[in-house]
Structure 1
């Protein structure tokens, strides 16, 4: 009975560590991530963020971003942006948290939680195209 419990525990732990294996290198997969928010029954385009290595640029709606900045991602998929992030960090807005999702079943994505000047929070999702 105890050996079954130990075996089950080891299988569970290996599955859990495999789910986070994609975060181990501290980077999102390179590419363009389309960001949008669901507000008042509509999906609103917030622009695209481009990831290349440990650099990001954007978000941009038209054209390209003038400069790239570094970002960091920890082993749990929490992202720290080390530069401005367009409207997410302008006009009194601030970033509360960004969480990546790399589950292998769907396109890589991350959710950005923004705190507005009035104290309300807004969440947007950025999905790799």
Structure 2
């Protein structure tokens, strides 16, 4: 039995190596697509535009239709840490202009058809707003 326990411990460590403990998201990239961002305010959902994701690059937010469709628009890189927090490595439209800043962006789902993330934004006056961005179905 004494010889068995160290072998079992090594086997368990080998099986869990490289996997984040208690993390719902494995670091990497979100599924490619257009993510509709909305905020619930004054009893209704308000659209804040779409953010396009392709590989490790994002565009938007935009109200002008599909992103990455050949129209010239600046793309910027993003990163996701092991806790599922997104760091935007460029501007994020109205989320980061006019005195607004992004406090946190958290991946809430990384499924191919259900992917989503929440953006917590701080306004110039110090108030906070949370928006949810959900992947749109491919058409």
Higher helix content, 1 or 2? 1
Determine the structure 2 residue equivalent to 1:67. Answer: 74
- Scaled by the length of structure 1, what TM-score is found? 0.79
CA RMSD of aligned residues (A): 2.8
Instruction: Tell me how far apart the structure 2 counterparts of residues 73 and 96 of structure 1 sit (CA, whole Å).
Output: 15
Deviation at 1:69, TM superposition (A): 0.1
Long gaps (5+) in structure 2: 1-11
The corresponding residue for 2:94 is 87
Q: Quick check: which has more Rg, 1 or 2?
A: 2
1:41 pairs with one of 32, 43, 48: 43
Q: Which runs of structure 1 show a deviation greater than 4 angstroms over 4 or more consecutive aligned residues?
A: 16-22
Is the 8 Å Cα contact of residues 19 and 103 (structure 1) preserved in structure 2? no
Change (3 A) 1:58 1:95: same
Question: In 1, are the aligned partners of 2:24 and 2:84 still within 8 Å (CA)?
Answer: no
TM-score by length of 2: 0.74
Provide structure 1 residue ranges, at least 5 long, that are not aligned to the other structure: 1-9
The counterpart of 2:55, out of the listed 35, 53, 56, is 53
Matched length: 118
